[in-house]
Structure formats: C-alpha cells, structure tokens
Chain A
Amino acid sequence: MARRIFARYLAPALVTVWAVTAGGAALRSAPPAEDLLVSRAEVGRSGDQLVLSQSAEPKTLNPVTVVDVVSRTVIRCMMADLIHVNRETQQTERALAKAWTVSPDGRRYTLTLRRGLRFSDGHPFDADDVLFSFHVYLDEKVRSSQRDQLVVGGQPVGVRKIDQYTVQFDLAESYASAERLFDGVAILPRHLLEAPYLQNRLADAWGMRTPPEGMAGLGPFRFKQYLPGDRIVLEKNPYYWKADRAGHRLPYLDNLVFTLVPSDETQAMRFQAGEVDIVSRVSADTFDVLARTERTAAYKLYDLGAGLDYSFVFFNLNDVDPKTLPEVARRQTWFRQVPFRQAISAAIDREAIVRLVYRGRATPLWGHVPPGNKVWVNRSIPQPARSLERARGLLKTAGFSWKPDGTLVDARGDAVEFSIVTNAENKQRIAMATIIQDDLKQLGMSVHVVTLELRTLVDRVLKTHDYEACVLGLGAGDATPNAEMNVWLSSGGTHLWSPEQSRPATAWEAEIDTLMRRQMTTIDSGARKQFYDRVQELVAQNLPLICLVSPNVLVGANKSLGNFRPAVLDHHTLWNVEELFWRQKRSRVGP
C-alpha cells in the first residue's frame, strides 16, 4: 500500500520537481527544441476512445464567440491558455507560458512562452499568436465574453511583444491574483483566424460546418468529425505540448466522442449500460439509482461534496414603472423591506430542501459562498434554525398582520400573494419552489409557482423585469471572488435582483461595490479575505439573494479509466482529459 502511494503521488511529485529544476529537461521522444511540460500524473497507455454524452449539440467551435456550456466543453478540449488554474489544487500553474514575473507594483506581468510548440495543424506557435489572440478578445466589435475578464480598472489589459517568446501585459491598476485572468483565454492560431478577423467575419468562423483542416488549437485534441444530431469526434493532437514522466507525448486517448443524449435520465441509463464512460453533474436522485448497481457495475461514483454552485430565491427589486407593471410595483413595497426578506429566509426549511430535493447530498446555505469554496467562505455567517416564530415577529415589525382565517395582510389590508418563477427544465428548482410555497403558506402567504422556459425566464429577470420572485442558481467557474464581480457590482449585468444600476440603489449595495472593487485591486490576500467576508455579511443581512443550498458535485466514470480525478471546479471530469487513459484495451467498437 505504502509503495503504491509512493508510486502514485510522491514519485510524480519528485520527478516534476526534477523536471522543473532542470528547466524542462530534454525528453527522449521529443525534439530538443520543444519545451514540453511534464505531467506529474500516473503514466498510462495510449489508445482507444472515450465516449461522453451531452444534453445538446454544440452550436459553435469558435472560442471567441462561444457562450453555451455544451460548446465550451468541446472547445476546451481543443484549446490551451497561457496560465492555467489547476482544477484539483485550485492554484495557478504554467501552461503555454513557461514562466512569468510580476513587477513590484503588481501591474506588469512578463510571460515567457514555451519554445518550439506547434498548433494542432503543425504550424509553429509564438508571441504573435498571443498578441493576435488578445487583440481579438479585447476588440469591442467582436463581443467576446472573455473581454470583461480582461478589463481591469476600466482599462483593457495592455499587451506588448518583447521578443518572439516573451510577452508583456500591463494592467491599469494592481489586480489581485491577476495571473488567474489568463485562465480560459484560449490562444488562437493567427495563421487561420487573422483573415476572417480582418474581414469582420470572425463571428462566423469555426462554425459546425468548418472542415477539420480549417481549425487548429493548442489543446490536447483536435476536431475530426461532426455528425449532426448524433456526435462530434475529436482526435489526438499529435503536437500537444505535454508529456508524461516516461517521455510519451500526451494525450493518451486517440479519440474523444461527444454523443448527443438529450435527457439526463437517458444519459444515466446509457452510462449504466456502459455505452457512455463518464457522467458529470448527476442529480442526487439519479445518483442513488446508479449507486444501487455500483457494486456489480463497471463504474464508480464520486460524491465530491459541496461545489461552487448555489441556489437561491430572490425578489424583484428593480425600479419598475407602476404604469406598465402595476401589480409588480404594488408588491415591491413588501419586497423592498429587509424584515420581509428576513422573514422569508427564517421561514424556509433548508434542511427539508437538502433532504427532499437532494437526498442529503447538498449543504444548506445562509450566505452566498458555499463551503466548497474553502478559501473564501466566511464561516462566521450566522446559520439560524428555521423559525416561524421569528418570521412572524419580523413581519409584525414591518407592519404586516393576520386576518382571522390566517391570511397575511400588509398595512393597507392587501393579502400577501405573489408568484415564484423558475425554469421548467430544472426539476430541483421546481421542487425547491414547491417547498418554499408550502413553508410560506404557514406564514399566511399565498404563493404560486410558475415554470417558464429558461430563455423566457432570463428575459423577464434581466430585461422586462416582469416577475415577482424567482428561484435560480449560480455557479462560479473559479473560486476567486473576481469571478463574481458581475453579480455583486450594482452596475453588473448579472446583479440579478436589480441589474445594471446607474448608481447603487441602497447604501449596502454601495458598500458592496466599494468592497468588491477594493478586494479586486488589493494584493494582500488577508486583506482581500476581510473585504469579501464583509460582502458576505452584508448579503446575509440584507438578503438580496436568499440562499438555499449548495448541491454536491456528483460524477461517475468507468472503473478502468486511469487518472480520473474529478474536481469541484468546472469542468469536473474533463479538466485533465489529456491524462485520462484506459487501463485495459477496450473491446467496444464505437459508442
């Protein structure tokens, strides 16, 4: 056992230390000029394919314009970034940048690129590709979703080429853990995308009809085939820049096959039948069904504990026009009162949600940072037990009273009645809304649960503001608070309860704005933590989002898949896809 632990964990670490200190020592199978990164993972065997399922078809393979999760999952297997956040350790690590230095004021980053690397079509990679990529992402006309991330202190990041393998980045102000900015910014092949960019056709480039030869990236896989309505196949990138300790170039797998399996239930069944090798984000009830046959099955399930996702209910606090939305405006006189929101929070049975909706595989929440985010969670946020008594007391202080039949009425005598919307596709959210409805009935409130298609729902929440309350969830891609600037800044587009405010509507929102900006520009991590702790306190006191639960991350994979180390951070199962390998030769032909 001890030897196995050594072989599996310590030996790779030692070898990595050696590899790093030797400055990327020459590898047996790699040409000497190539600066390969040596993976510390277990050495595996090459060959075979991995079959995955996705609930929808990818809409594009263009990393600049991609917005949907399904396309993003495919694209991230074909692309690479300069500095990467390791999903397992949650720390930054070298990727295409071999090394970097930071100026003392924290505003200038100088990155040294790996030499001798090639894109998946064999074309060499150098600083010009980096320059081009950042130029594209920062171009406002292109409207890439990465642009927000690359604007610091109101100024886009300045990019300058020092030599063929050195690039310098200048930030307008110091920025905490700025190297995390580079995570997810895929480096584009200038030789393929410059022409469409100059012709303003970049948005149309790399659609699903592009032939494989027209596409290239620096990721472990490259595009091979797309069969509409059926599957998309990626093949091994023969020029990938990582190798294992034995000197074999990664990835191990020959092909990645993403099959289209629209429903979660069918995905689980195909996984159970061995037709699909990995399931990500399984619901707790499906997880239980899979667990029943786990002992005899060829798969293993993993409950990774609380993730970064959190669910909440929130009220419409926008400045709505009483002429166009009189009903919403009338109810907002309740929603705007902090004691009203506190009463709702006190009346919600979070334990019941954990048990009935997630079968115990979730953590009740009182603040917006889930315990899965171990570094940033503020553990001093009070976690009061459910109390209808306290809820009634709070409502009384806010001027509410009860009619003899138990109906709650406001100071004007209007019965408290409102609707909670949520998206029809998400059974957990509907179940949470149903439980909240029953909880609030005990306070004399009449609540209707309305399910809408997600796009309609988002439109109502962010644009028309024609809703009263809503159950939704958010999940940050990274554990740092900077990933949620858009949610907590009052001017943010995802400031759900009242987005894109020109000026903060309340004093506490103004304070959150200040704190969020300060934590972003403070380098000292202790001070940052203090700022963000205060943000969590303000949110828990004022309850713009009444947090409910954080579901556990539940995944599963075939037992013979080597190096499968699922992570709490997204993407939970494919973050180290280049290291995955089959322990035995697979007999299966095709998915």
Chain B
Amino acid sequence: MNGPGRHVRAYLSLLAALYASVLLAGPIAPYDPNEQNRNAPFAPPTRLHFVDADGGFHLRPFVYRVVGRPGRFDEYDEDRRERYPLRVWTRGAPYRIAGIVAADRHLVGVAEPAKLFLFGSDQYGRDLFSRLLFGGQISLVAGVLAAGLALGLAIILGGLAGFYGGWADEAVMRIAELFLALPWLYLLFAVRAILPLHIGAGRAFLLLVAVIGIVGWARPARLIRGMVLSAKHREHVLAARAFGATDLYLLRRHVLPQTAGVVFTQLALVVPQYILAEVTLSFFGLGVSEPLPSWGNMLAAVQRYDVLTSYWWMFLPGIALSPVFLLYYALANAFHQQTARPS
C-alpha cells in the first residue's frame, strides 16, 4: 500500500501510541493524580539539572527539593544542599492498570521529600503531569466511545431511514431535526439537577459517554441516510433484489459497505468533537467531578484570573488537545483521500 494508505497507517500508529500512554498512565505517571501536597500549591515545573550547585557535572539528571518561601503562597526556591537523582522504575503510589492489575512501580520518580512535578502542580499541589495522563483516560476514551455510540446509532437509524424511506424516513429525520435544534447545554444542566447526587466515578463516566453519544447521532445519520438512499438504487443492488435477496442481506452485503468510507471519515472527524464535548461538559462542571481529573475540569481552573495570568503550566491540558485534534483531522483527511481514489 502506498500514498494515502501509508498516511493512514502512520496516523493510526501515532494515535495508538497516544492512547497507550494514557491507558498506561499508572506506570508512566510519577504520582497518584489525586494526591494533594498542601505545601506546594501552584509549584512550577520541576527543573531537571545536570550541573550541581558546585559546578560538578552529573550524567544522571537530578532535581533539588523545592520549598515555599515563608509567608508567600506560590513562590518557591530550590534547596541546593542535597541532590535527588532521577530514579527509573521506582516504587511509588499503588495503582491498577485497566482496573485489574495492581502495581506500584513508576517509570520515573525521585526520593521524598523532593517532588518531580514535570508539568508543575495545581491549586492543591497535585502533580499536573500525572493528572494530564489520567485525565486523558477520561477525555480521550470518552471521545472514542461516544463517537462509536453516536455513529452506531447513526448507521442503524440513518440506514433504516434511507433504505425503507416512507414513514420510517420521515419519523427518523424529524427526530434528527429535533435533536439538532435542541439547546443541549441548558438541557444537560437541567438533567444534572434531577439526577441522583452521588454517582460513582464509573457511572459518571458512562453517563457522560452516553449523553455525548446520544446527543450527536443526528448529523451523521442524515449523511448515512443520503448514502444509503443513493446506494439502494444502484444496479447491482436492484439485481440482487430481483434474485430474491432479503432486506437484511442487501443492507449487510451491498448497501452499508458503500457507506464504510464515509463512516470512517466521520469517525475520525467526530472523535475530536466529542473529546471537546467532554472537555466542555467537565469545564462547566457537568462531567466527571473532583477529584477525578479530566482535561475539561483541569482546564476549568484557567477561568480564574490569577491562574490565567500567573501559572502558564495550567494551560497544558488545552495545549495537549491540539496535537490530538491535528492527528484526528489528518487521519480523516487520509481516509477521505483513500476512499475518493478511483479503485
């Protein structure tokens, strides 16, 4: 395979690497994302050193312990009396990979009381790098699952509407229009108000996925309906029908495969939108709640004037979104070129 196909594979493997890193957040992150260090609020990213205070060079990078200036809230100094070399595959906070495998080894770390805040810390002194990785689990995975749900619904409903036409088409398309017209954000605020208060983390996540997914089926469904409508009048489909093929067979064998290119392109296009939807909902406090991190609720901190003007590292979840989006859009583009090529 060459050309667009090679691009698709390259983008897919980059995305796979990205997803692997957030799914393996446990071992990669140096700390428990919810652990508060109350004497280190808004600590800037920890500096890695090779040269010590006396000018000696060390091959193994090290950090100094960072201590707050007395009486100051967010000003810190390095205590240069002792070096804390970076340790690889060190023991730390316990975690579970995929909720099953328990472990306590971390890729990198430093000995206490020094801290390795690669991306700095937040208001409660929580390690932002660890939170970014764990938050990615929610934001990125929610995006994919919700996109899968929305497109699944779109294929079923759009396919039925396009294939059968008539009242089924009318009904599905009018409902789709209703979904497109509703002011979702306000509706979701209302829904949150009547939901039970204590929803576990897992259920909150699934609810979030379901909400984003169900909200978003209408647009791709209209697209797929159009594809199906034109596919069902193709000659080979009509011929198959003349030979007595059932509706299910026709849909499965001849009609839906025609939409595959569009579906994949749509998938690559809507996943980032749904990642953004999660970010938006959590930003407004409708997604997963504290202390669980998600890129959205992490970004919510940037609304504050002091954070906006003083702590640049708090923008990192927002910055992390850009390469993810670029990758997905490049992938969508590559899919599109691949399907558009005359075979």
Contacts and interface: CB of A to CB of B under 8 A. Distances in A.
Interface string B294-325: 00000000011111111000000000000000
Interface in A438-456: 438, 448-453, 456
B164 to A, nearest CB: 43
Interface stretch (B34-42, B152-160, B335-343): B34-42
Interface in B276-291: 284-285, 289-291
Nearest to B309: A289
A587 B63 CA distance: 54
Interface string A459-498: 0000000111000000000000000000000000000000
- A contact face: mostly helix, strand, loop, or mixed: helix
Contact of A456 (B193, B304, B306): B193
A467 B197 contact: yes
Contacts, number: 78
B184 interface: no
Q: Which of B284, B285, B305, B310 has the most CB of A within 10 A?
A: B305
Contacts of B41: 355-356
Contact of B290 (A265, A434, A452): A434
B197 A450 contact: yes
Contacts of B34: 438
Nearest to B284: A424
Contacts of B197: 419, 421, 448, 450, 466-468
A27 to B, nearest CB: 46
B106 to A, nearest CB: 21
B123 interface: yes
A431 to B, nearest CB: 7
Q: Which of A356, A424, A431 has the most CB of B within 10 A?
A: A356
B123 A356 contact: yes
A227 B81 CA distance: 63
A356 B285 CA distance: 20
B73 A452 contact: no
Nearest to A352: B38
Nearest to A430: B290
A289 B305 contact: yes
A453 B310 contact: no
A355 B285 contact: no
A431 B291 contact: no
A349 interface: yes
B306 A286 contact: yes
B268 to A, nearest CB: 34
B192 interface: yes
A431 B123 contact: yes
A437 interface: yes
B38 A355 contact: yes
A433 B124 CA distance: 12
A431 B34 CA distance: 14
A435 interface: yes
Interface in B189-214: 189, 192-193, 196-199
A264 B309 CA distance: 14
Contacts of B189: 453
A448 B196 CA distance: 12
A456 to B, nearest CB: 4
Interface string A112-124: 0000000000000
A286 B290 contact: no
Contacts of A430: 290
A585 to B, nearest CB: 31
Given A434-B124, A448-B197, A468-B198, A285 B306 contact: yes
Interface in A264-299: 264-265, 268-269, 285-286, 288-289
B289 A360 contact: no
Contacts of A452: 192-193
Contact of B73 (A352, A360, A427, A449): A360
B258 to A, nearest CB: 46
A376 interface: no
Interface string A235-276: 000000000000000000000000000001100110000000
B291 A434 contact: yes
A288 B193 contact: no
16 contacts: A288-B73, A288-B306, A355-B38, A355-B73, A356-B123, A419-B198, A427-B304, A430-B290, A431-B124, A435-B124, A448-B197, A449-B290, A450-B197, A451-B285, A452-B193, A456-B193
Interface of B: 34, 36, 38, 41, 73, 123-125, 189, 192-193, 196-199, 284-285, 289-291, 303-310
Interface of A: 264-265, 268-269, 285-286, 288-289, 327, 349, 352, 355-356, 359-360, 417-419, 421, 424, 427, 430-431, 433-435, 437-438, 448-453, 456, 466-468
Given A285-B304, A286-B304, 7 more contacts: A286-B306, A355-B38, A419-B197, A434-B124, A448-B199, A449-B291, A450-B197
Interchain residue pairs A-B with the least CB separation, the first 8: A285-B306, A419-B198, A265-B305, A419-B197, A456-B193, A359-B73, A451-B285, A352-B38
